Structure 1
C-alpha cells in the first residue's frame, strides 16, 4: 500500500489540518469489519448501510456528534451452542464515519441484518445563496438636486 507524504501541503496551507488528518486516517484504515456501503439517495441525502448479520438492534449503539457518526456493536449472548464451524463474525466493533459540515443523522432502521442510517445535509438559511437587489445611485442624486433648485 502507498504511504502519502503530507508535508508539502502543510507548508502551503492554513486551517486545513483537519482535512489532512482525515485523509491520513482514511488511507491507514485497514479494518474492514463490518462491511458497509455509502450511497447518495438524493441531492443532499445519503445512506450508510452496514451488514450486521447475527447482531440484534439491542446490541448496536449509534452515536452522532458534531462531525462524527459512530456505530458500535457489542458481543451478544451466543447461547449454549457448540459450534463445529463459526463463519458469522459476532466480534465487537466500532466504525467511525466523519461527517461533512451540516450533515445530520435523520433516522436508522434495522431489517434482515442490515442497519441503514439516513443522513441529510441541511444548510442554514444564512449559508444558502441569496439574490441581492441592486439599487441605482444615480436616481437618488437627481432627486437631491431637484430639491435644492426648488
Structure 2
C-alpha cells in the first residue's frame, strides 16, 4: 500500500491535526487485523453496536476497556489443564489471543456488553452534552425607550 502525504493538511487547516493523525494511523494498519471478525451496526440514530465473533472464549477470557476515545477489546485464552493431552487431527478453531481497537467519536460511550452464542456485543450510544445540542432561538422585538421590555419569568413587582 502506498503512503499518503498529509503535510498539506497540516499547512492549510488549523485544529484538524487530530483527524489527520487518525487518517495516517488508519492507513498504516497491517493485514493482521482480520481476526477476530466483527460487525459494526447502527441500531438507532445515536446508538451503535459492535459484534465480535469470539468462539471458544468465555467472559473470564475477555477484557473491555475504554480510555478517552479508544475502545480496546482483548481476548486471552487460558490454557486448559488437559490441552497438552489432546491430539488434534485438524485445528480450525483459532483460540489465539487478540487485541482489537476501535476509535470512538466524541461523546460516544459504552453502555454495556454481553456474550451470547460466541458473539460479544458491545453497545454504544452518542450522548451530546446539553451545551452541544441544537437550540431553537426565538425571534423577538428589540427593546427601545418607547416600548416596554417583555417579562420573561415571574411576575412584575410593584414599588411600594
Q: Which TM-score bucket, shorter chain as reference? A: 0.7 to 0.9
Alignment of 1:109-148 (within 5 A): 109-137=114-142, 140-143=144-147
Q: CA RMSD in A?
A: 1.6
1:95 aligns with 2:100: yes
Structure 1 position 123, deviation (Å): 0.5
Alignment of 1:21-40 (within 5 A): 21-30=21-30, 31-40=33-42
Structure 1 position 134, deviation (Å): 2.8
Q: Which has the higher helix share?
A: 1
Residue aligned with 1:142, SS: coil
Q: TM-score, normalised by structure 1?
A: 0.87
Residue aligned with 1:104, SS: strand
Take 2:8 and 2:24, find their aligned partners in 1: how far apart are those partners? 14
Residue aligned with 2:123, SS: strand
Q: Which runs of 5+ in 1 are unaligned?
A: 145-150
1:8 aligns with 2:12: no
Q: TM-score, normalised by structure 2?
A: 0.82
The total of aligned residue pairs comes to: 143
Would you say the 8 A contact 1:38–1:48 is kept in 2?
yes
Take 2:76 and 2:54, find their aligned partners in 1: how far apart are those partners? 11
Structure 1 position 93, deviation (Å): 1.1
Residue aligned with 2:65, SS: strand
